[in-house]
Each structure stands twice: as C-alpha cells, then as structure tokens.
Amino acid sequence: MKVHCYARRRLRPFHGTVQTIAIQHPDNAGHGEAETSNGIDWSLYVGHPDLVAHTGLSEVRFGTWRTGDTAKRAAVRGTTRDVLIEDLGARLLDALHDHADKLPFTPIDRHECWLLDIHGAPLVLIDSVIDAEECTPWDRPNWHPGTAAEEGFTSPDGGVADLVRQVRERAGRCPRAAWIKRASDDAGTDQAGIAYPADRFPPTLLRTDWDNEADRRRAIAFIGWQAPWLLQLTGLDPALRAELERAAWQRPQEVARIWRLYPEILDTERLKVARIQASLMGESDARGLYQEPFLPVQVEV
C-alpha cells in the first residue's frame, strides 16, 4: 500500500485544517483515509470497487481511533464485504500508527478561491481544493465568518454583521471570485492566466488594510479571534506568528484542543499556561470533537 500524508484547510468559513493519512493499493484495488482536526481523534474510512458494486457507496466508515487508545469499529450496514473492510481497515491502522506522530502534515490545497475587491485584488479566502478538477465556479460569490463567529466574536467596533457588511462593500455590487493556483513562492495564477504576486495575498486570509479605521480594527480583531486556527497555517512570518500566538492565548480552550496541529510554537511557556487555563475552565487537553456512536467492538492493534 502506498501511504500519503497531507493537510488541507477547513473553509466556508476557515476554521483550521484537516490532517489526512491516506493509503492506496498500487492497482487501485482499495483505499483508505484517516482524518483528524485536532491531532488526537481520527475518523477512518475505507473504499473498494467491490464495495461500490455491492452497496453503491464509494467508501464506508471503518471506525475511530484516539491517540494512545484502541480503535472502535463503526456499525457498517448493508454490506457483507467484511473481509475487504477488515483488511483495508487493518492496513489503514498500520499506516496510522506509523505516521500519526508526524503531525502536522504539509498542506496541498494549492488551488484557492478568493473573493476579489473592486480592483481585482484578493480580499478574503472563501474556498480551497487539492485538484484543479474540483474548482467549481461561483456565480454569486460571498463570504461569511460562520456560526461560531456569530456566537463568539465581538469587538468594540462591532460584530459579525458589521464585518460581513464591510467585506461586501469592498467586493462591490457585482462581486467576483477567482480560482488561483498558488506556487511554491506563494505567487499565484488564475484560470485566465492573470498573475498575482505573493504580497497581494493576505497571510491571515482576510485583508487588514482598510480605509475606514473602524473597519480596519474590526478586521484585525476578527483575525485575533481566529488566531487559534490561523496558527495551523504554514509559512507565517515569525513576527506575525508571535502576534497570533498572543491573541490565541486569549482563547485557551480552543488552543488546548488543537495546538498539536501547530507547525511551530514560539512561546512554549505561554502555551503551557493556556493549556492549564483551559483545564481549569473545564476543557480537557485531550478532549476531541463530537463523534457518532459506534459499535462497542475493539480492534486490537
């Protein structure tokens, strides 16, 4: 089995990354993926041509695995291809044990969909994909910071409604979006062949240069609120990473949940303090995401 480890961003809206360990049979006779969004809890999926023929499903949920624990099998209904599932699942668990300690992985979602301002410059990232074939057109592109922001983001200069309003105004009456493929030097080229220098892309995925001072402060405050997730990005300037760390420590519970996916940590002592604060606030450092109920069957690994 070939093993491929990679990361991609979670967007619409941005809220961190998904880390994936994928296996693929050399002759395409079976594959599997293990995914995590916090570095501890993994969801495992397997697929095989025979499963498609028998169930119509391209893949099935094999189970879950938590670092330092045994796997829990999913309730797979509607298939009798247990041998295929067990074999692929066992191979996926082997890959998981071999590579899970190498987090975080290199991001490969280099095709990015940016909402543009009225001058055609990238304004805010709204989507990203791994393969060019996944770049679907946006007829009426828009950006929204998400329900978590609606519930948790506030600033002295207003909240989500004001942030959405300022982005919409800067995008213009007929908003446009462009799929741009980023190169290794972070420059980009869109589907029409238009080139974008690297410095035109905001590293925090939202522009911070606003003419209105209240709009500028609001955008910066939102980036600070997103800091625990933004710290998962690679290639951040050290000064910017330090600034994001200082903002992230203000949300210790979120930091405690996902810090294992940070490619770099500058202030390790302050991270320890944040994790202690989260524990005192009732957030276990090993607490994961919501999981669907699974059959109480353990697979020895």
Per-residue pLDDT, 75: 57
> Among the three residues 192, 219, 246, which one is the final residue of a domain in this structure?
219
User: How would you write 258-284 as a 3-class SS string?
Assistant: HHHHCCCCCCHHHHHHHHHHHHHCCCC
Determine the structural domain holding residue 83 and report its residue range.
Answer: 2-106
Do 101 and 120 share a domain, yes or no? no
Q: Is residue 15 part of a domain?
A: yes
As for how many domains the chain has, the answer is: 3
Q: Is residue 298 part of a domain?
A: no
Q: Is residue 297 part of a domain?
A: no
Q: How do the pLDDT tens digits run along the chain, 301 residues long?
A: 899 999 999 998 999 999 999 999 887 778 999 999 999 999 999 988 776 556 666 788 899 999 877 677 665 544 445 778 888 999 999 999 999 999 999 999 999 999 999 999 999 999 999 999 999 998 889 999 999 999 999 999 999 999 999 999 999 999 999 999 999 999 999 999 999 999 999 999 999 999 999 999 999 999 999 999 999 999 999 999 999 999 999 999 999 999 999 999 999 999 999 999 999 998 666 554 433 333 333 333 2
